[in-house]
């Protein structure tokens, strides 16, 4: 469930004490000359309201006092929910389906967690660097049409979150992002956070935050990269990869 909590100041007392407050909401800027029907009428002294059924997209709110037929506006606010955000449709984001959705290379694999391996962060399986020195996994994810306008205006951003772990901190990993246009032409070099020997005793949250999405982008390439630092197995582990363009 999604809720919007509104709060405001109550500035009136004494002779000016309001009879109550009204809360208005619209998907368009609120026109004071043509007010919508209030979504709530609240008693005098109220300073909060929780809208439990906000609209998908833009929500314009206005809160007024009312008193003997007069209306005095205190607060205007705009909140946008849902619209303009596209979750990345990553197939098999937490290794539960083997290689489904991914192109594995260099010995990269999935492995069931526990029994000498770290427990999976989500579900039963984790991604692992595998038997090679630098295993990798790659998936191309189409960008949702709901954010094309934002992408092409040059204002879209990408967040990508994942969990990373290692056996002893010596085998390293990263997730790189590269954007492609509708003709599969790369729009710039892949961007990573840097290879990291993640914690061994717990799953570490790593995040690309607010990465700029180039104009014309239609595909996001997600590439898990690893680098073995010691031993014969590449113990760079990954799980629970998710992201949004907004």
**What b-and-e string marks burial along 123-148, b requiring 16 or more CB atoms within 10 Å of the CB?**
eebbbbbbebebbbbbbebebeeebb
The single residue among 135, 151, 239, 243 that binds Ca ion, judged by CB under 5 A, is 239
Whose Cβ is closer to Ca ion: residue 57's or residue 98's? 98
Least CB distance to Ca ion at residue 51 (A)? 36
If binding is defined by CB under 5 A, does position 123 make contact with Ca ion?
yes
214 conformational bin, left if phi > 0, alpha if psi -120 to 50, beta if neither: beta
Q: Give the C-alpha distances (Å, rounded to integers) separating 183 from 121, 191, 234.
A: 36, 20, 35
If binding is defined by CB under 5 A, does position 241 make contact with Ca ion?
no
Least CB distance to Ca ion at residue 194 (A)? 24
If binding is defined by CB under 5 A, does position 128 make contact with Ca ion?
no
If binding is defined by CB under 5 A, does position 94 make contact with Ca ion?
yes
Q: How many CB atoms lie within 10 A of CB 33?
A: 4
The stretch among 54-62, 97-105, 119-127, 154-162 that binds Ca ion (CB under 5 A) is 119-127
Query: Could you give the 3-state DSSP secondary structure of residue 15?
Result: helix
Using alpha carbons only, give the angle 138, 142, 147 rounded to the nearest 5 degrees. 135
If binding is defined by CB under 5 A, does position 36 make contact with Ca ion?
no
Residue with tokens 């999976």: 120
Whose Cβ is closer to Ca ion: residue 174's or residue 240's? 240
Q: Give the count of residues interacting with Ca ion (CB under 5 A).
A: 7
If binding is defined by CB under 5 A, does position 120 make contact with Ca ion?
yes
If binding is defined by CB under 5 A, does position 109 make contact with Ca ion?
no
User: Shortest Cβ contact with Ca ion: which residue?
Assistant: 94
* Alpha-carbon dihedral 161, 165, 170, 174, rounded to 10 degrees: -20
Binding site for Ca ion (CB under 5 A): 94-95, 120, 122-123, 125, 239
């Amino acid at each position: 469930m999604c809720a919007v909590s509104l709060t405001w100041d109550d500035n009136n007392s004494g002779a000016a004490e309001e009879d109550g407050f009204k809360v208005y909401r619209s998907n368009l800027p609120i026109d004071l000359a043509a007010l919508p029907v209030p979504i709530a009428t609240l008693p005098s002294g109220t300073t909060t309201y929780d809208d439990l059924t906000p609209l998908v997209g833009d929500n314009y709110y206005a809160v007024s006092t009312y008193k003997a037929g007069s209306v005095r506006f205190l607060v205007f606010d705009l909140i946008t929910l849902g619209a303009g955000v596209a979750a990345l449709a990553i197939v098999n984001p937490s290794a539960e389906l083997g290689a489904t959705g991914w192109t594995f290379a260099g010995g990269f694999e999935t492995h069931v967690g526990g029994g000498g391996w770290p427990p999976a962060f989500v579900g039963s399986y984790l991604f692992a660097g595998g038997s090679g020195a630098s295993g990798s996994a790659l998936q191309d994810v189409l960008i949702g049409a709901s954010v094309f306008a934002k992408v092409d205006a040059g204002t879209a951003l990408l967040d990508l979150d994942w969990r990373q772990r290692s056996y002893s901190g010596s085998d390293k990993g990263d997730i790189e992002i590269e954007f492609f246009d509708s003709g599969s032409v790369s729009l710039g070099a892949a961007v990573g956070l840097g290879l990291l020997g993640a914690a061994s005793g717990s799953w570490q949250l790593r995040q690309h935050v607010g990465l700029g999405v180039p104009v014309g982008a239609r595909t996001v390439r997600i590439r898990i990269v690893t680098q073995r630092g010691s031993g014969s197995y590449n113990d760079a582990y990954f799980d629970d990869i998710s992201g949004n363009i907004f």
